[in-house]
Amino acid sequence: MSSLPAPLNPPNRILLGPGPSDVSPRILRAMSAPTIGHLDPHYLRLMDEVRTMLREVMRTKNELTFAVSATGMAGMECAVSNLLERGDELIVCINGVFGGRMADMAERQGIVVHKVEAEWGQVFELAQIEDAFERHPGAKAIGIVHAETSTGAHQPMEGIGELAHKNGALLLVDMVTSLGGTDVRMDEWGVDACYSATQKCLSCPPGLAPVTFSKRAEERIASRKTKCVSWYLDVSMVRDYWGSARSYHHTAPINMTYALREALLMILEEGLEARFARHDLNHRALRAGLEAMGIEYVPARSLPMLNCVRIPPGIDDAAARKHLLDEFGMEIGSGLGPFKGKAWRIGLMGESSSRRNVMLVIAALESALAAQGSPAKPGAGPSAAQALYGSRG
């Protein structure tokens, strides 16, 4: 008989990358509760509680709000494949990896994609979107990323929904990284469909993708001429499982639902405004510390929960991140696409967004830079961050 592997013993990391974020022991305890059936009356009550709390966190009254039993990219595919059919036109705003991924996903389904592109790290102006509708009046929807995880760019949303609806189009928004960490206003912004993921600012393990669809989106789904290309993600069937019909569709991930319920409960206990303020304060302290060390931000308008910064000249990316992992048990993210080897992505999401982690990552980066002979002034970063916290400004 071959030898068995050792018992599971993963290291205890400080997760400050682009996701997953740290998970509260309270959520891990919730996951360890007894598994019950996916049609058990107790579980069905939990599903209703999840839907109610998701609506509150998303600031929406949409009836069609639920959690897809898969990760965030399944949420993207659920939104795209239900709202659009082969031959439909979709405008996609691309200023990083995830706008590009939305376009790729749509093209694979035979959707005609019109790309509106901006430099990585930049956001879109309303004039660019208005121009796109003038050039593509047949577009049935426009897709945009609210929080571009590959660059840290924070897209303003005001006016985009109004512009889309004036042109007879639906507004589809990627909120994978923003939900639970900064203000999202589904109804106020006129968003017709959005998707997120549990492992970012919700601080839950990866495995579920919250989605919501407006009445306009529901009407579009109901008027389809063809079936959704994905059986598993077909909202017309999944809604009957999450809704009052309770028709069996698939075996839901029971214990992950426990985790999401607990995560949403923790968010509402903290209070949305207090949670957003916490993320903003920790972001400003981190930025003060990094800039005092000579580290520049990539986006002009940065997300509070995902800090994308340029690696100082002469610093080896992989060696610095290895130093953080080996010496501090800390993970930060590398750059993607044109930023590969040129940028770091530092996440302060949900449970990971704390004063402790801000001070730790600044000190750890100072150590990593010093190990490569950086001339940065010792203590400048922690002092600047501490001063920001002291001022509470």
Strand ranges inside the chain, DSSP E: 14-15, 64-68, 89-94, 112-117, 141-145, 147-148, 153-154, 170-174, 193-195, 209-213, 306-310, 330-331, 333-334, 343-347
In this predicted structure, the answer to whether residue 86 has a pLDDT above a threshold of 90 is yes
Give the predicted TM-score (pTM) of the model. 0.95
In this predicted structure, the answer to whether residue 1 has a pLDDT above a threshold of 70 is no
Query: Exposure string (b/e) for 286-316, b if CB count within 10 Å is 16 or more?
Result: bbbbbebbbbebbbeebbbbbbbbbbbeebe
In this predicted structure, the answer to whether residue 393 has a pLDDT above a threshold of 60 is no
Assigned token pair, 337: 């696409």
Which SS3 state, helix, strand or coil, does residue 300 take?
Answer: coil
Please tell me the predicted confidence (pLDDT) of residue 138.
Answer: 98
Domain extent, residue 180, equals 25-268
- For 202-234, the pLDDT digits (tens) are 999 999 999 999 999 999 999 999 999 999 999
- For 334-386, the pLDDT digits (tens) are 999 999 999 999 999 999 999 999 999 999 999 999 999 987 788 999 999 99
Which SS3 state, helix, strand or coil, does residue 221 take?
Answer: helix
For the chain, the helix, strand and coil percentages under 3-state DSSP, each to the nearest 5: 45, 15, 40
Residues 68 and 81: beta-carbon distance below 8 Å:
no
Which SS3 state, helix, strand or coil, does residue 145 take?
Answer: strand
Please tell me the predicted confidence (pLDDT) of residue 392.
Answer: 61
In this predicted structure, the answer to whether residue 135 has a pLDDT above a threshold of 70 is yes
Give domain status of residue 201, yes or no: yes
The CATH number that applies at residue 361 is: 3.90.1150.10
- For 156-181, the pLDDT digits (tens) are 999 999 999 999 999 999 999 999 99
Q: Tell whether 243 and 367 lie within a shared domain.
A: no
Residues 161 and 196: beta-carbon distance below 8 Å:
no
List the strands of the sheet with 306-310, edge to edge. 306-310, 343-347, 333-334
Give domain status of residue 11, yes or no: no
Give domain status of residue 19, yes or no: no
- What is the mean predicted confidence (pLDDT) over 237-245? 93
Q: Tell whether 330 and 344 lie within a shared domain.
A: yes
Number of domains observed in the structure of the chain: 2
Choose one of 268, 289, 318: the last residue of a domain. Answer: 268
In this predicted structure, the answer to whether residue 84 has a pLDDT above a threshold of 80 is yes
Please tell me the predicted confidence (pLDDT) of residue 376.
Answer: 73
Q: Tell whether 277 and 181 lie within a shared domain.
A: no
Q: Tell whether 82 and 192 lie within a shared domain.
A: yes
- What is the mean predicted confidence (pLDDT) over 170-193? 98
Q: Tell whether 39 and 150 lie within a shared domain.
A: yes
Choose one of 240, 268, 296: the last residue of a domain. Answer: 268
On the question of a cis peptide bond just before residue 20, with omega within 30 degrees of 0, the verdict is yes
Residues 128 and 116: beta-carbon distance below 8 Å:
yes
Q: Tell whether 221 and 154 lie within a shared domain.
A: yes
Q: Tell whether 179 and 33 lie within a shared domain.
A: yes
**Neighbouring C-beta atoms of residue 99, cutoff 10 Å:** 25
Query: Exposure string (b/e) for 103-132, b if CB count within 10 Å is 16 or more?
Result: bebbeebebbbbebebebbbbbeeeebeeb
Q: How far apart are CA 388 and CA 386, in angstroms?
A: 5
Give domain status of residue 4, yes or no: no
Eight-state DSSP code of residue 17: S
Q: Tell whether 205 and 263 lie within a shared domain.
A: yes
Please tell me the predicted confidence (pLDDT) of residue 7.
Answer: 92
The CATH number that applies at residue 184 is: 3.40.640.10
Give domain status of residue 129, yes or no: yes
Torsion sign (Cα): 267, 78, 212, 91: positive
Q: Tell whether 191 and 281 lie within a shared domain.
A: no
Q: Tell whether 278 and 234 lie within a shared domain.
A: no
Which bin fits 81, alpha (ψ -120 to 50), beta or left (φ > 0)? alpha
Q: Tell whether 289 and 201 lie within a shared domain.
A: no
Q: Tell whether 219 and 297 lie within a shared domain.
A: no
Which SS3 state, helix, strand or coil, does residue 359 take?
Answer: helix
Give domain status of residue 10, yes or no: no
Please tell me the predicted confidence (pLDDT) of residue 378.
Answer: 85
Choose one of 268, 291, 311: the last residue of a domain. Answer: 268
Give domain status of residue 61, yes or no: yes
Give domain status of residue 13, yes or no: no
